[in-house]
């Protein structure tokens, strides 16, 4: 059975909608997925009536740990969790605050004034507020014809909106409150040596009970993947896997849904599924 537990949609920084991703999975015969948008679980709220693809609740969260900023994957959580809902509300406020901050910068630097009703409607209809969304708002407000024009004329020098991050302790409190599974996402993407990655993972295992590592991901080489799998096997850690597909707008895709390093993600290569089935 083919699976993929790390996929992004237009609910965060992906270029394809949830429905488009689902259609692609059906075409590729991918039977089980998790949509892991950044700091949001909007896709998990959708009531899609279909039986071809099993969908596991998922989210990718920015987490500060000592001097590092890691991405941690949260799976199979209960949407009724109080701490999860509090995180969602706090993150949305953070996103909107930074979005308005950039709009105010454009007002000062380029004399751009966004109609309040247009902005209110735009915020209500969106869930993620990066520079791509700001470009879209400028087009909607009549300042540019295309998002590309908006980028080159107005937003190129703006800092792209930084996502909210939480502490590792807070993450595992949310995981406990929502009965979720935590996986350490793409360990080699942070520019840290293998020795340091191993030290951090073992520390998180001892301190917080971390059990799952995303050893199979497109942001690691085949060599690094093999080393991680061996490390997991030697330290009683389970393995998750995901394409980390984004399909970013205006960019040629390099990570495709359902595959890592050009090969389909097969269920038999993943061990954390034991936890999902409990």
Query: Could you tell me the strand order of the sheet in which 2-7 lies?
Result: 2-7, 30-35, 54-56
Structure tokens at 219: 């942001």
Percent of the chain exceeding pLDDT 90 equals 85
- The residues that bridge with 177 in the sheet, in sequence order, are none
* Mean pLDDT value across residues 229-257: 90
Q: At 85, is the pLDDT very low, low, confident or very high (cuts 50, 70, 90)?
A: very high
* Mean pLDDT value across residues 201-206: 98
- Say what the pLDDT of residue 248 is: 77
Sequence-ordered list of residues with C-beta below 8 angstroms from that of 223, at least 6 positions apart, any chain: none
- Say what the pLDDT of residue 249 is: 67
- pLDDT higher than threshold 90 for residue 50: no
- Say what the pLDDT of residue 48 is: 78
Phi, psi of 32 (to 5 degrees): -145, 130
> The whole model's pTM is what?
0.93
218, 244 Cβ separation under 8 angstroms: yes
Q: Are strands 58-65 and 68-75 parallel, antiparallel or unpaired?
A: antiparallel
Alpha carbon distances (Å) from 155 to 55, 82, 140 = 36, 37, 15
69 SS3 class: strand
* Mean pLDDT value across residues 87-96: 95
Structure tokens at 249: 């707008």
């Amino acid at each position: 059975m083919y699976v993929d537990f790390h996929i992004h949609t237009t609910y965060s920084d992906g270029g394809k909608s949830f429905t488009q991703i689902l259609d692609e999975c059906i075409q590729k015969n991918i039977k089980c997925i998790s949509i892991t948008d950044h700091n949001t679980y909007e896709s998990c709220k959708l009531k899609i009536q279909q039986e071809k693809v099993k969908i596991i609740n998922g989210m990718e969260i920015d987490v500060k740990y000592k001097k590092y900023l890691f991405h941690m994957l949260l799976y199979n959580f209960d949407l009724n969790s109080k701490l999860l809902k509090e995180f969602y509300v706090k993150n949305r406020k953070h996103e909107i605050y930074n979005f308005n901050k950039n709009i105010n910068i454009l007002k000062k630097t380029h004399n751009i004034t966004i109609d309040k009703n247009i902005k209110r409607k735009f915020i209500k209809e969106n869930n993620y507020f990066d520079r791509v969304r700001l470009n879209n708002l400028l087009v909607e407000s009549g300042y540019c014809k295309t998002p590309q024009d908006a980028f080159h004329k107005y937003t190129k020098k703006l800092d792209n909106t930084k996502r909210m991050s939480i502490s590792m302790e807070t993450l595992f409190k949310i995981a406990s409150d929502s009965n979720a599974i935590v996986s350490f996402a793409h360990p080699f993407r942070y520019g840290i040596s293998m020795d340091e990655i191993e030290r951090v993972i073992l520390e998180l295992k001892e301190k917080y009970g971390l059990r799952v590592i995303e050893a199979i991901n497109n942001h690691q080489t085949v060599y690094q993947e093999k080393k991680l799998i061996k490390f997991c096997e030697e330290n009683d850690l389970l393995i998750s896997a995901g394409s980390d597909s984004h399909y970013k707008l205006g960019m040629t895709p390099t990570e495709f849904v359902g595959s890592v390093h050009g090969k389909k993600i097969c269920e038999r290569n993943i061990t954390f599924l034991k936890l999902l089935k409990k």
